[in-house]
Structure 1
């Protein structure tokens, strides 16, 4: 049975997608079977992992069917693509932008004043979870990358998750986005979401500056110091280069990123273990 995790923030460009693919990349190298589900119609995770695959395999990606096509068939497994040993991708496509309309047609469209709104919206949010469940036995971890906005896509991902990892870039707008995201997570819990917030992973704009320290201090106050990852991801040019090359381990700059994410992943696993122990006490 997989551990499912959504990586999110309501501010774009904060490193959300990078972490949604680099942590499972490291886990896969540790022998853990991982799946990355790209629920962003822009498909950034799909693009980077497609390029990563080229670093490990000669065969190109062949898209016989889009994400919406697989959803309509109620069979997500038919579009899963291998990236490397122990790492698979469920790729996104621009047509996934039609997912809200698909749900409206399937379950009905009502406004918030309608007495059936909550029950219908709950069905919409939980539909994706039903599609993901058949994949659970095949993986140790399923990571879900989502758009940086409030939407049925982001809500559906959270409802299908055991944990949520919040990415925080050390700038005011990113903190605002993280706070808004936290408020929405609380609302989703009232809809029956059974997830825990794993923590907040800081991504530094410019390490060792007063502005970074100020935002981190504010984040400690908002989220609680115990919920903040001790590991902080510094500004690294090689992380941006992975957008063009895919994740690779060819030189010392690549390896510096990989070594950092081994530390991030260890703390990730420690937090998963601690959460499991706490949940078993209740």
Structure 2
């Protein structure tokens, strides 16, 4: 991981585009914490309040793509093709059933990306360069305002690409005993990327997932994380909710599957909180 960062620090160049989307990576090296579920449903909630959102699926398992109804047989151009330089990002993007929400799907080919890129000197900046051209030559109203990057559950070259390309990291954190241990490792990686590849990278926030108010452990984990991370923890917590779990099997976000369930309400609140933090960042 650190080798990926060190080898590529000389290529951290380039100015921001005059108009560019806000890029937020959803990252946690632990699996099963709700990264993909949060990417799908936060993206849907942001689109519902008027943003034009692109989800970039960087997990070789492709669950974000499946969860938004993109059949594996219809992923002719994927984020793998983009990262190896065979296609521009716009070519990989497909519309979803949700208005204003698009996705660049992934395939299992991504699992071999690190070996394929080898020692290419720009290998940590493939995603950043692809996103930099995303809104070029498109009419007003067709540009994306948010890009959400769904990272794999590991700290590898793909995750480094996501962090090097992003303005901020959103960390889904499951309400479980080892939550803080995993968070510490992730924060160290963010600091490494900030010091070598992307000095503007920040922690947008930490969202507690799979929260069960009846469970003493859940409440204790939330208290510990808030004590450790303070205001970086969002007020919104994502509850354990069977409707959230069911929705992906139908290829739908939970907000489409059951708008009135507590899971949908939580993601709408999270989207509002994300937008509020964005406004605060712009005024400082």
TM-score of the two chains, using structure 1 as the length reference: 0.84
Counterparts of 1:6-21 in structure 2, within 5 Å, are 6-21=25-40
Does 2:116 correspond to 1:97? no
1:46 aligns with 2:58: no
Gaps of 5+ in 2: 1-19, 137-142
- Residue 230 and residue 70 in structure 1: after superposition, are their counterparts in 2 closer, same or farther (change >3 A)? closer
> What CA RMSD, in Å, does the superposition of the two structures yield over aligned residues?
2.0
Question: Residue 86 of structure 2 aligns with which residue?
Answer: 73
Aligned residue-pair number? 254
Match of 2:228 among 216, 222, 225: 222
Separation (CA, whole Å) in 2 of partners of 1:170 and 1:248: 20
What is the CA–CA distance in structure 1 between the aligned matches of 2:33 and 2:99, rounded to whole Å?
28
**CA positional deviation for 1:64:** 2.6
Which residue matches 1:235? 240
- Return 130-139 or 260-269, whichever deviates more: 130-139
What are the within-5 Å matches in structure 2 for residues 160-175 of structure 1? 160-175=165-180
Deviation at 1:250, TM superposition (A): 6.5
1:269 positional shift:
0.8
Distance in structure 2 (CA, Å) of the matches to 1:46 and 1:148: 16
1:85 corresponds to 2:90: no
Could you tell me how far 1:221 is from its partner in structure 2?
2.6
Distance 2:226 2:220 in 1: 10
Query: C-alpha separation between the residues in 2 aligned to 1:210 and 1:12?
Result: 23
Contact 1:14–1:174 under 8 Å retained in 2: no
Structure 1 alignment gaps of length 5 or more: 55-59, 108-119
Cα deviation 1:192-240 (Å, max 9, x = unaligned): 31211111111134223221122112212321x2111111111101000
Cα offset, 1:68, TM superposition: 2.5
Give every structure 1 segment of 4 or more consecutive aligned residues whose post-TM-superposition deviation is greater than 4 Å: 248-251
Matched, 1:268 2:280: no
Evaluate the alpha carbon distance shift between residue 48 and residue 272 of structure 1 in structure 2; reply closer, same or farther with a 3 A threshold: same
The match for 1:141 is 146
Q: Who is 1:112 aligned against?
A: none
Partner of 2:239: helix, strand, or coil? coil
Aligned-partner Cα distance in 2 for 1:136–1:174? 37
Q: 1:98 to 1:277 in 2, by over 3 A?
A: same
> Matched residues in 1 for 2:234 and 2:185: separation?
19
Distance 1:65 1:35 in 2: 15
Following TM superposition, by how much is the alpha carbon of 1:169 offset from its aligned partner in structure 2, in angstroms?
A: 0.9
**194-203 vs 85-94, which moves further:** 194-203
